[in-house]
Amino acid sequence: MKENKLLEIFRKRGEKPSSLIEVLQDIQQTFSFLPEDALRLTAEKLKVPLIEVFRVANFYKAFSLTPRGKYLLTICIGTACHVRGASRLIDEASRLLDTKPGCTSEDGFFTLEAVNCLGACALGPVAVINGVYHDHVTPVKLKKIIADARAGNLKAAKTGSTSPSKTDGVKGKKTAVKNTLSQSAKKKPGTAKGKSPLLKKKTVPVKKTAVKKRGDFRWK
Amino acid sequence: MEVIKNPEVLSVWRKKILNKNTFYTHTVSLCGGTGCQAGSCGTVISAFKKELARNKLEKKVRLRVTGCHGFCEQGPLMIIEPDNIFYCRLSPGDVPEILTQTIKNHKIIERLCYTDPSTQKKCPVESKIPFYAQQSRILIDRNKNTDPSDIEDYIAENGYAALCKSLKMQANDIIQEILKSGLRGRGGGGYPTGKKWQQTAAAAGEKKYIICNADEGDPGAYMDRSILEGNPHSVIEGMMIGAKAIGADEGIIYVRNEYPLAVLHAGIALEQCRNAGLLGKNILGSGFSFDIRIVRGAGAFVSGESSALIASISGKVGEPSPKDVHLSEKGLEQNPTNMNNVETWANIPLIIENGAMWFASRGTERSKGTKIFALTGKIKNTGLVEVAMGTSLKKIIYDIGGGSISGTVKAVQTGGPSGGCLPASKFDLPVDFEALSEAGSMVGSGGMVVMDENTCMVDVARYFLDFLIDESCGKCVPCRIGLSRIREIICRITEGKAEMQDLELLEEISQTVSEASLCALGKTAPNPVLSTIRYFREEYISHIHDKKCPAKVCKSLIKFSISPEICTGCGACKRECPAGAISGEKKQIHNIDQSICTKCGICRETCRLSAISLN
């Protein structure tokens, strides 16, 4: 099965040395990493020395030699996100997942990745989890994003995340005013508070465990 | 789709499309660029489609999902033509109202209009919004009229008319036209495009290549992505004209894999061109044959360098090589190769169509035309800004960008990792290739990151060093080892462990790295360090001498503390502190243990009373 898939890739891209990167990209996409036997077969079929295949696989950031986790958490550390505090997100994510950028958490659940620019600079700092974008992320928000993903709900924090971003515009101010009128308690925008009730409900069980275990908090 | 055999058939097709478009009473252009997609524009699009079907308006109202409009800060956004009404920060819930109020009854919904932050007035019309009104939008403005996956939109906008014109021209006349226009490479180098074409056209060789460099690696720059994503046909048409002028029969678009939407749209556009006979053999009956393929990059900043990019296309490690022989003589597979970046290619059809003089009427003596900048960082109006070359930084940052979020702008970083930081005192500078280089920065690919008083300049220098060390291919010693040594010194400074003579050492190593490195990545790598030392020396001195970080960024030099007057002992910070550094009984004043504190700042974010201060 696996070999068939590989042969199909070789056939599509052409069995020549110049197809190496395209072939590796397809393998990465199919298996979510580059398995060793696939690299060996690539070297043989494309007539490229194995060491060269390994060198290319090691050089480019798109390739991973170890399996990726169920969730790929990408944090943008482009200049625009950096000046808005993206480095704090990397620290926080590394701590929460007990891993470092480019690596996968021990339980195989999360792969943390730092990228140099996603081109969504207006929304920075940006974090993406399995393709779902989160804008104006703070360490507090990131904790929720991870907890929600952990609970199997990728988009939970997303529904809440659009509201704080709107608060700097006039439209957002209006909603803020409405909040104070209807709920009588003033909620600070951008924090974990003031989210939709739906979100609150969903995150409660995860949060509880997190609080209990605080101190030696690990996702295990 | 029928195959277009000659320019006349293309004109007939254009007329047909324009005629078809008159059946629509309204055209709604909804931005579907990556920025707006990240802001959930997908839900607005599907809500709009659903509502159109429900109201049976599909034949009267055309929904056009376009590429980036540029004003990413306000996304998701839409423009309703023919009245040029601009609605921003949309959510799916707004859609039914837009249809009943604006489209059926021509009423403007004030709530959805843009508010000018300085006057607090609503601006319902796109062209009157200060952000748009003060730009010279030639390239990026075409995005809003184009569905990137529909060739008909591009044809309707006079697309491929320049190609028809160029097919009747002599190759040399095309090159002369580009030379006369004064167009210079938009990728960073600023080399005259016409001259590059001349060299490749003159080079000996049967086979010649055209390459579009869409490996836009600069963090904080995304104009190339927006063009390729939003208007891929303009790039393809530019490449076709270039191929005709140079005598190439094969073109390659090398695009970053991090831009999946650009890869997708460019692929669709190429397929449509082939189906319409605009690519392939004997294009429009002229005898000229040309085709383009896409090669995806695999994530390496240095691969944007021309010789490294060639290596990457050949399936090798994307390392630069010495440039004893130019690409124009021996490039891809040892054949003459002409490489320009996306924005440069997109300018070509406009120059051919409107003439070199039209293009040269904008800009300065040595830098002609317009340039797109990505205005990001601590600025009110984040987005893509297209202005004539020579526009002052002040106009871009204050008039178009609306100034900083916090009030004061301390510096602007231009040119990405190869550029430098310019202080507010230099904001009168005109933005052109020479003026910025003389000031110690560069135009580069057009990233402009605005920084305010909460940005530490030493930290910015360290950030760029981290980036460059990470992206350095490691082939040459000055870049590989020199940058690491520079970073060590900068880290010492941010930790408050440096001496004054470290500054001199920094400057000395920087000079060696910039003189001895092989490629432009290394040669320009010390720029962020040198420019920050040049303009923000006092910040370096306060780190070294006073052991203080004026912007309160460098972790080793800051301290979080709880103000006893404000703290009510609610326990929120204690609950959230990941390090367990906060102690205190309920309703008692809390305290931070500095020896455990990791300075993540979560407590400060959590405290609703702002009782936690940063010193």
CATH number of residue B535's parent domain: 1.20.1440.230
Contact A119 B111 (CB under 8 A): no
Average pLDDT over residues B192-201: 95
Which residues in chain A have Cβ-Cβ distances shorter than 8 Å to B312? 21
Q: pTM of the predicted model, to two decimals? A: 0.86
Same domain, B259 and B311: yes
DSSP B20-74: HHTT-SEEEEEE-SHHHHHTTHHHHHHHHHHHHHHTT-TTTEEEEEES--S-GGG
pLDDT for B272? 95
> Cβ separation of A83 and B451 shorter than 8 Å?
yes
Residues B376 and B424 in one domain: yes
Instruction: Please give the residue range of the domain that contains residue B262.
Output: 151-360
- Tell me whether residue B89 is in a domain: yes
Q: How many CB atoms lie within 10 A of CB B53?
A: 10
- Shortest Cα–Cα distance, A59 to chain B (Å): 7
**CB atoms inside a 10 Å sphere around CB B564:** 10
Neighboring chain B residues of A96 at a CB cutoff of 8 Å: 578
Q: Are residues B247 and B338 in the same domain?
A: yes
Give the mutation candidate from B316, B384, B469 for the A interface (greatest A CB count, under 10 A): B316
Please indicate whether, in this complex, the C-beta atoms of A115 and B258 are within 8 angstroms of each other.
Answer: yes
The CATH code of the domain that includes B386 is 3.10.20.600
Q: What is the mean pLDDT of residues B204-229?
A: 91
Q: Do B605 and A140 touch (CB under 8 A)?
A: yes
CA distance B307 to chain A (A): 15
3-class DSSP state of B372: strand
B75, B413, B601: residue with CB nearest A79: B413
At B98, which CATH number? 3.40.30.10
Size of the A and B interface in Cβ pairs below 8 Å: 176
The domain boundary, picked from B96, B129, B162, lies at B129
Which CATH number does the domain housing residue B573 bear? 3.30.70.20
Give the span between the Cα atoms of B120 and B110, in whole angstroms: 12
Check if the interface score ipTM surpasses 0.85.
no
Same domain, B217 and B355: yes
Instruction: Kindly identify which residue of chain A lies nearest to residue B73, measuring between CA atoms.
Output: A122
pLDDT, residue B322, reads 82
Position with higher pLDDT, A177 vs B582: B582
By Cβ distance, the residue of A55, A96, A170 closest to B317 is A55
- Window 21-60 of A: residues touching B by CB (8 A cutoff) are 21-22, 24-25, 48, 52, 55-56, 59-60
The residues, any chain, with a CB within 8 Å of residue B24's CB and separated by 6 or more, are B59, B60, B61, B62
Spatial separation of the C-alpha atoms in residues B173 and B351, rounded to whole Å: 13
CB contact under 8 A, A79 and B605: no
> Is the residue at B139 inside a domain?
no
Q: Do B236 and B353 reside in the same domain of the chain?
A: yes
Predicted pLDDT at B576: 84
Arithmetic mean of pLDDT, A91-103: 89
When the pLDDT of each residue in chain B is averaged and rounded to a whole number, the result is 91
Domains of chain A: 2-59 (no CATH), 71-212 (3.40.30.10)
Which residues 60-79 of A are in CB contact (within 8 Å) with B?
60-63, 77-79
Same domain, B76 and B34: yes
A116 to B473: CB separation less than 8 angstroms, yes or no: no
**Within-domain flag for B482:** yes
Q: How confident is the model at residue B399 (pLDDT cuts 50, 70, 90)?
A: very high
Q: Is the pLDDT of residue B156 over 60?
A: yes
Contact B314 A18 (CB under 8 A): yes
- Put simply, the answer to whether A63 touches B298 (Cβ < 8 Å) is yes
Would the CB atoms of B72 and A133 count as touching at under 8 Å?
A: no
Is residue B282's pLDDT more than 80? yes
Task: Tell me the pLDDT band of B542, cut-offs 50, 70 and 90.
Answer: very high
**pLDDT score for A155:** 66
Same-domain pairing of B307 and B166: yes
Q: Are B304 and B217 in contact (CB under 8 A)?
A: yes
Number of independent structural domains in chain B: 5
The answer to whether residues B340 and B405 belong to one domain is: no
Q: Which two tokens stand for residue B415?
A: 């040119």
- At B497, list the tokens: 């462990």
B332 and B406, same domain (yes or no): no
Lowest mean pLDDT among B157-166, B282-291, B397-406: B397-406
As a whole number of angstroms, the distance between CA B206 and CA B188 comes to 30
Asked, for residue B18, whether it belongs to a domain, the answer is: no
B169 and B278 share a domain? yes
B140 assigned to some structural domain: no
| Residue where a domain terminates, one of B360, B389, B417 | B360
B17 belongs to a structural domain: no
Q: Residue A121: its pLDDT value, please?
A: 83
Q: Is A180 in the B-facing interface, judged by CB distances under 8 Å?
A: no
Nearby residues of B287 by Cβ (< 8 Å), 6 or more positions away: none
B362, two tokens: 């904008």
CA of A122 vs chain B CAs: smallest distance (Å): 5
* Statement to judge: residues B167 and B248 lie in one domain: yes
Whether B449 shows a pLDDT value over 70: the answer reads yes
Q: Is residue B7 part of a domain?
A: no
Which of A24, A79, A122 is nearest residue B72 as measured by Cβ atoms? A122
CATH code for the domain of B241: 3.40.50.11540
- Asked whether residue B344 is domain-assigned, the answer is yes
Residue B160 has pLDDT above 60, yes or no: yes
Q: Are residues B199 and B333 in the same domain?
A: yes
Question: pLDDT, tens digit, for every residue of B235-280?
Answer: 999 999 999 999 999 999 999 888 888 999 999 999 999 999 999 9
Provide the pLDDT confidence category of residue A67 given band limits of 50, 70 and 90: confident
Last residue of a domain, one of B360, B382, B416: B360
Cβ–Cβ gap A62/B298 under 8 Å: yes
CA distance A108 to chain B (A): 22
